[in-house]
């Protein structure tokens, strides 16, 4: 099975390395292209058998699955470039949220899926968001979800849910890391606990909490009840968080959705411009 990755930047290379580490793909299955050839060549050197090719057309031609790991505004040019070597039996997977499935189905003959990954896949964990186009068959879904289950927990969602789901699964690691950083800095400032010790404690806490909320049988409400004894320290702390964070997450969602709408508008203009040039 030939699997192509067009774009080997941060997320493209992360996916390749995760699939290889998990054993889901062998290097000989992978063809990689990138605007800067050096990045693809670097992957080929680290993983003998992986083929760094000189063009996106060479990567896409004959591939069963083609992962598009490029910036949203690069999609119109990439699609125009590879369209002639694609057919109805291939699966093109977009990994970026603003690019809508109908945009892709209107320009290339392939089966289309959108799979939004997360940096957590580098640890072979986290959720991958799976959205499918009208041409995707049950066996195509099975193939993609088997592949993604080697590095993540595939979760099927509607395309209308992409932004909010991505906020949690893909942006979430950065948001949580920021909160942990702020917490650790405050701990070091106010108590003398060394910053790196606070980070280590927080990281282990997050790891364990994740296990409790996934395989441990706890809901967020149950976990709070078990830890926050009435009148205790934890309960007092939760009262502070409830008072101070009441509007933070609503503002966060409003901000990310506003940026998403701006990106959609720019992308629509880019696709329209490209169509006019054809």
- The fraction of the chain above a pLDDT of 90, given in percent, is 94
With a cut of 70, say whether residue 275 has pLDDT above it. no
Report the alpha-carbon distance of residue 174 to residue 3 in Å, rounded: 29
Q: Quickly tell me which residue has 């054993």 as its tokens.
A: 23
Give the model's confidence band at 96: pLDDT under 50 very low, under 70 low, under 90 confident, else very high: very high
| CA-wise closest residue to 176 among 118, 130, 258 | 118
* Mean local confidence (pLDDT), 114-126: 98
The two tokens of residue 114 are 């959108």
Strands 127-132 and 51-52: unpaired
DSSP state letters, 3-71: EEEE--SHHHHHHHHHHHHHTSS-GGGEEEE-SSHHHHHHHHHHSTT-EE-S-HHHHHTT-SEEEE-S-
Q: What is the mean pLDDT of residues 203-225?
A: 96
pLDDT of res. 277: 65
The two structure tokens encoding residue 134: 């009208």
Band of the pLDDT at 271, cuts 50, 70, 90? Answer: confident
The whole-number pLDDT of residue 246 equals 87
What pLDDT does residue 230 have?
Answer: 92
Q: Give φ, ψ of 68 to 5 degrees.
A: -95, 105
The pLDDT assigned to 278 comes to 54
Mean pLDDT of 84-112: 96
- Measure the CA–CA gap between 115 and 136, rounded to whole angstroms: 13
The CA distance from 154 to 156, in Å, is: 7
Per-residue pLDDT, 170? 97
Instruction: Write the Ramachandran bin of 48: left for phi over 0, alpha for psi from -120 to 50, otherwise beta.
Output: beta
- Helices 10-22, 37-46: axis angle to 10 degrees equals 20
- Over residues 112-138, the mean pLDDT reads 98
Here the contacts of 139-145 (C-beta below 8 Å, separation 24 or greater) are 140/91, 140/111, 140/113, 143/65, 143/91, 144/65, 144/91, 144/93, 144/113, 144/115
Which pLDDT score is estimated for 276? 63
* Predicted confidence band of residue 272 (pLDDT cuts 50, 70, 90): confident
Which of 87-91, 143-147, 164-168, 266-270 has the least mean pLDDT?
Answer: 266-270
Strand (E) positions, 117-158? Answer: 127-132, 153-156
Mean pLDDT in the chain? 95
């Amino acid at each position: 099975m030939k699997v192509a990755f067009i774009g080997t930047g941060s997320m493209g290379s992360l996916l390749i390395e995760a699939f290889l580490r998990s054993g889901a793909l062998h290097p000989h299955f992978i063809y990689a292209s990138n605007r800067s050839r050096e990045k693809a060549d670097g992957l080929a050197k680290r993983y003998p058998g992986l083929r760094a090719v000189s063009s996106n057309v060479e990567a896409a031609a004959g591939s069963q699955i083609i992962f598009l790991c490029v910036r949203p505004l690069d999609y119109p040019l990439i699609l125009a470039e590879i369209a002639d070597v694609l057919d109805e039996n291939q699966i093109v997977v977009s990994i970026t949220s603003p690019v809508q499935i109908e945009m892709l189905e209107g320009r290339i003959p392939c089966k289309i899926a959108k799979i939004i990954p997360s940096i957590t896949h580098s640890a072979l964990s986290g959720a991958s968001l799976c959205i499918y186009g009208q041409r995707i068959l049950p066996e195509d879904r099975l193939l993609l979800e088997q592949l993604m289950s080697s590095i993540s927990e595939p979760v099927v969602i509607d395309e209308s849910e992409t932004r909010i789901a991505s906020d949690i699964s893909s942006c979430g690691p950065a948001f949580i890391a920021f909160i942990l950083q702020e917490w650790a800095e405050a701990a070091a400032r106010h108590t003398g606990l060394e910053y790196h010790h606070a980070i280590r404690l927080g990281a282990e806490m997050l790891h364990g909490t994740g296990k409790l909320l996934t395989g441990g049988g706890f809901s967020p409400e149950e976990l709070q009840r078990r830890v926050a004894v009435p009148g205790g320290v934890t309960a007092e702390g939760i009262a502070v968080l409830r008072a101070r964070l009441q509007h933070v997450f609503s503002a966060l969602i409003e901000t990310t959705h506003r940026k998403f709408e701006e990106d959609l508008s720019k992308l629509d203009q880019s696709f329209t411009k490209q169509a006019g040039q054809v």
